[in-house]
A and B are shown apart, each in its own frame.
Chain A
Amino acid sequence: MNDVRLLTGGEAVAHAMRQVDPDVVPVYPITPQTPIIQTFAKFVADGRAHTEIVNVESEHSAMSAAIGAALAGGRTMTATSSQGLALMAEIVYIAASMRAPIVMALGNRALSGPINIHCDHSDSMLIRDSGVVQLFAENAQEAYDLMVMAPRIAEDARVLLPVLVCLDGFTITHSAEPVSLLPDDDVARFVGPYHVPNDVLDTTRPTTQGPFAMPDYYFELRRQQAAALEAALDVLEEVASDFGQQSGRRHGALESYKLDGATRAIVALGSTAGTVKDVVDELRDEHEPVGLLKLVSFRPFPGRAVAAALASCARVAVLDRADSPGGTPPLHAELAAALYGGDVELAGHVYGLGGRDLHPPDVREVFAGTAAPHIGLRGERCLV
């Protein structure tokens, strides 16, 4: 019953895809996402999934084919990273606008340049305002779990939007951990059959999809789309509860870790939450009132829940794994808005760009209030 295997995050995501058994998966390779599509392609080659794999010639075409397939009545999944997401960004916006419930794994990787293959969240933040759901996994298990939950969120009639399951490149995609898989039948029952309200292949009831909208309608259509993304917060909690019943693991929009009575907290996304949890445990043993707020859902952003979770904190430090040159980094800006008007001291730190590690002593410094704005950044003297 409890099928625990040693899997990398990439393999765990591919297993979730095998169990969901989507109709169409357009694939295009890019590090560090590639293990996902090649593991899944082998499942299909061995008859363990029954999917039309479309070997597209670019990520731009991957998302384009995904829209065509999803609107033609096929459950559709894909995966990408970094430059791949940047290339398909135009079509990610349109996928949200066309309300195509595509599920995509994103192996988070720094954007060029300089070209780099390691983790940061600049790729996710590039499409922050595209209108898609973005859920961040802390480890391989969560990547698997979120990937099983994602179709239910994407395809809910109140949502009908693409859902991205974000997993840190290499740290999660390539690191092997024990992962507990649900039975295949349970996943099939959990996701249920795929249904789009306006099937493009329905020639008896022809629809015009992707029309031209001028100033007289564009604003209303955009507002409908934004409202659907806001509604995804409730849907996420419902699906999280169902999934929790099935698996014993519940992943809502955020996870409060030892925030009870905490006066100092860190807010973070992704695998860094695991490092912070270790430091929180150490500091709690030392009777320091510290805690972690891990955000699973970055879009939609659960602003009210974030403020409520941090109510006891006098100091909050935000860890951003992406910068916003000339402005405020994305997560920091969200926290500033969510906590506005409260009596809290907010600090922002940019860390880990291009895959630079964040070490437990760095996290201690953040809690102590002595960390630099750019954690781990060396001086200019290191450059040739």
Chain B
Amino acid sequence: MSRLKTIVRNQHGVQPLRGGHSLCQGCGIPMVVRTVLSTIRQPVVVVNATGCLEVATTRYPTTAWNVPWLHVAFENAAAVASGVVSAQRALRRRHALPADEDVTVVVFAGDGGTYDIGLQALSGALERGHRFLFVCYDNEAYMNTGVQRSGATPFGASTTTSPAGLESFGKAQRRKDMTAVAVAHHVPYVAQAAATHWHDLSVKVERAVAVDGPAFLNVLTDCPVGWGHEPQFSRHIIDAAVETCFWPLYEVVDGRYRLTYLPRRTRVEEWLGSQQRFAHLFRPENAGLVRLIQEQIDADWAALRARCDEELA
């Protein structure tokens, strides 16, 4: 059966995340959550960091979740997941849970809850080797609180705490390479994916939940409000991030890098020009910055290709 059919079939029964939530039009987060959860065949428990997804889906006394869902705070989702997984192990050993009952613990956190405030708890959980899947929905800023700069915000982006102005071109620092940070923990599966490349994402989820240990997925997704675009262009814009090599799609299995998609390598203007947060970069005085961003992307792409063991067919 094709992957699309599988996902549709899995969604046909009870949807893990149903409609009625208050995420914005054009927000990529529900696409990521549904693709991830509809790929996993065994029962799941979702642990959610504080953020858009949590706030928009669980306003008491309502819920959009049809799977067990647990939220404690912003910075500790990976630690909470460690506890759930450890209880599961202990109960299985005591025969209080059936040995063959496989419940997959999936964490969803935004880039703030992953790159910044959640980094310590995530690092600890990856190092300890718990069997869980951590999915970062990376929309490159603190969107829930109103578009503030994070460690994932790209160089040159204007946010409410790194605004472009007469003496500023937006964020003056490069974004953190969180995928590489996860790889440095020697975990069995790490991948970078994008919300709109659902087939690629789904394959990665399947591989991630099959490994005996922690898995980390860094999934780029858009935020129409924070990025400054009309909701109907989400897909086009996320695709532009991939095609320009701003956000390459690859996986790292037991430390071995592999590209999973060969991008067209279009000019970075295609990506930058689609969003209001980069509009100031196209002013004449900032022309050098666009060139600089292109050079950074080219250098990163060359370094990634050099790390990949096999060429993509």
- A residues within 8 Å of B by Cβ? 23-24, 26, 50-52, 54-58, 60-62, 64-74, 76, 90-91, 94, 98, 200-203, 206-214, 217, 221
Contact = CB atoms under 8 A, between A and B. Distances in A.
A201 B83 contact: no
Contacts of A91: 72-73, 76
Given A61-B121, A64-B83, A211-B63, 12 more contacts: A50-B93, A60-B121, A68-B70, A68-B83, A71-B70, A72-B84, A73-B91, A74-B87, A91-B76, A202-B68, A203-B45, A208-B63
Nearest to A204: B43
A57 B79 CA distance: 9
A201 B81 CA distance: 12
Interface in B98-127: 103, 120-121, 123-124, 127
14 contacts: A23-B86, A24-B86, A52-B87, A56-B79, A56-B128, A57-B124, A58-B124, A61-B121, A64-B82, A94-B72, A203-B44, A203-B45, A203-B67, A207-B68
B58 A24 contact: no
B94 interface: yes
A67 B72 CA distance: 8
Nearest to A61: B79
A206 B90 contact: no
Nearest to A67: B72
Residue picked from A50, A62, A91, most chain B C-beta under 10 Å: A91
A212 B43 contact: no
A90 B54 CA distance: 18
Nearest to A98: B72
Nearest to A66: B83
B86 A74 contact: yes
B90 A74 contact: yes
Interface in B52-88: 54-55, 58-61, 63, 65-73, 75-76, 79-84, 86-88
B89 interface: yes
A42 to B, nearest CB: 18
Nearest to B80: A68
Contact of A212 (B59, B82, B88): B59
B90 A65 contact: no
Interface in B8-58: 43-45, 47, 54-55, 58
A60 B89 CA distance: 22
B124 A201 contact: no
- Return the 9 tightest CB-CB contacts between A and B, nearest first: A68-B83, A74-B87, A57-B124, A65-B83, A61-B79, A64-B79, A210-B71, A69-B83, A203-B43
B181 interface: no
B68 A51 contact: no
A26 B67 CA distance: 26
B71 A200 contact: no
Contacts of A50: 90, 93-94
A350 B44 CA distance: 52
Interface of B: 43-45, 47, 54-55, 58-61, 63, 65-73, 75-76, 79-84, 86-91, 93-94, 96-97, 103, 120-121, 123-124, 127-128
A24 B68 contact: no
Contacts of B93: 50
A3 B68 CA distance: 45
A141 to B, nearest CB: 29
B90 A58 contact: no
A55 B129 CA distance: 11
A26 B93 CA distance: 17
A180 B254 CA distance: 52
Given A56-B124, A58-B124, A212-B58, A68 B81 contact: yes
B65 A206 contact: yes
A242 to B, nearest CB: 24
B70 A209 contact: yes
B87 A201 contact: yes
A26 B88 contact: no
Contact of A64 (B43, B45, B72, B88): B72
Contacts of A62: 79
B44 A60 contact: no
Contacts of B47: 68
Contacts of A209: 68-71
Contacts of B103: 201, 203
Contact of A57 (B65, B71, B87, B120): B120
A73 B96 contact: yes
Contacts of A52: 86-87, 89-90
Nearest to A28: B124
B145 to A, nearest CB: 14
Nearest to B93: A50
Contacts of A203: 43-45, 67-68, 103
A220 to B, nearest CB: 10
Contact of B79 (A24, A68, A94): A68
A67 B80 CA distance: 7
B82 to A, nearest CB: 5
B62 to A, nearest CB: 8
A72 B83 CA distance: 8
Residue picked from A26, A54, A64, most chain B C-beta under 10 Å: A64
A73 B80 CA distance: 13
Given A90-B73, A203-B45, A212 B90 contact: no
Given A50-B94, A64-B121, A26 B83 contact: yes
Residue picked from B58, B70, B71, most chain A C-beta under 10 Å: B70
B82 A68 contact: yes
Residue picked from A52, A61, A98, most chain B C-beta under 10 Å: A61
A200 to B, nearest CB: 5
Contacts of B89: 52
Nearest to A24: B86
B29 to A, nearest CB: 15
Contacts of A61: 76, 79, 82, 120-121, 124
